[in-house]
Amino acid sequence: MKYDYGISSSGHSYEYANYHSSLVQMGHEVILFDYMSLSQEHGKKKMNSMLLELVKNTKLDLAIFHLYTDQFDVGTIKQLRGYTTTLSVFHDDIWRKEYSIFWASHFSYFTTPDSFSIRKYLALGLRGVLFFPYGYNETSYQKMNVSKMYDVSFVGRWHPYRQWLVNRIKKSGISINARGPGWPSGMVNHDEMVRLFNQSRINLNFSNSASWDVRYLLSSPRALLDRLRSRKVVEQLKARHFEINGCGGFQLSYYVGGLEKLYLIGEEIAIYDGPDDLIKKIQFYLNNEDIRESMATASYQRTLKEHTFSQRFNELFSSMGLNNV
């Protein structure tokens, strides 16, 4: 999708701003097939036939998909494999398991951001699995020479659990700047977000799945209801892990399995273990600027060296035997 959830007023989608942009910057000839806009304009059936015709009439090395829900027909995806190599990029397969397993079998290759899931796919007989974690676009996320204006910042969508954490942080006497959809301070555009990462002494990366902490569950009727309804029951690596570090910001994050394979915990990235530890870690790093700045510098260097999307795609193409693409 070119636009976030197919809505032009919402701005460019993550995959357009990062995958498409990075591939173009790498010098590849890229054809954008905006399936959501085309489906909205022509209907699902016509959009599928348009895709098939495009691939038939164009000599493609690779067709990369970032699926949303049910926009594509299985028959269309199967036919495409007769004309080119197909790849589906999954980033939520940890909690969209059935959906990902179903579609994975219809592509030449598919990806997972979770290194522990590779064995699970192989055990199911799905041999085309490739490791492709999030990364960052180094031309969009940059280190800036600006002064620190905020002690603690968080950028992300409002959630009752995140609100509960923010409230606890404020009650401890720490100032926190929370921005994003649903927060009273409102949204930030991309450039404002990059500047905020650079201007904050500590950038928080909150959990993507709500907590079973009994204090949170008892904090409101909605808390328990949301927890029971949520499909996100496990943590996963997110783009934010790389974006903050790619801006030279100091990051205090929740822990997710596999993070230690990408960054040195305690030297390049800080993690917290629960709400109480979060506040203790914030206080510690606010009071130790030298440690904070040393870690931010180390994580920036590691991110620029190993975690750009240009590097991700080169590794992916090499694994697929497309070294000359």
Q: List domains and CATH numbers for the chain.
A: 4-135+309-319 (no CATH), 150-306 (3.40.50.2000)
Specify the pLDDT at position 231: 60
What is the rounded CA–CA span in Å between residue 168 and residue 174? Answer: 9
pLDDT digits (tens, 9 = 90+) for 147-198: 999 999 999 999 888 999 999 999 999 999 999 999 999 989 899 999 999 9
What is the rounded CA–CA span in Å between residue 76 and residue 239? Answer: 30
pTM above 0.85, yes or no: yes
Pairing verdict, β 200-205 and 62-65 = unpaired
Q: Which tokens in the block code for residue 34? A: 């905006």
Specify the pLDDT at position 120: 93
What is the rounded CA–CA span in Å between residue 61 and residue 321? Answer: 11
pLDDT digits (tens, 9 = 90+) for 92-113: 888 888 999 999 999 999 999 9
pLDDT digits (tens, 9 = 90+) for 204-220: 999 765 666 767 775 77
Reduced to 3 states (helix: H, G, I; strand: E, B; else coil), residue 325 is: coil
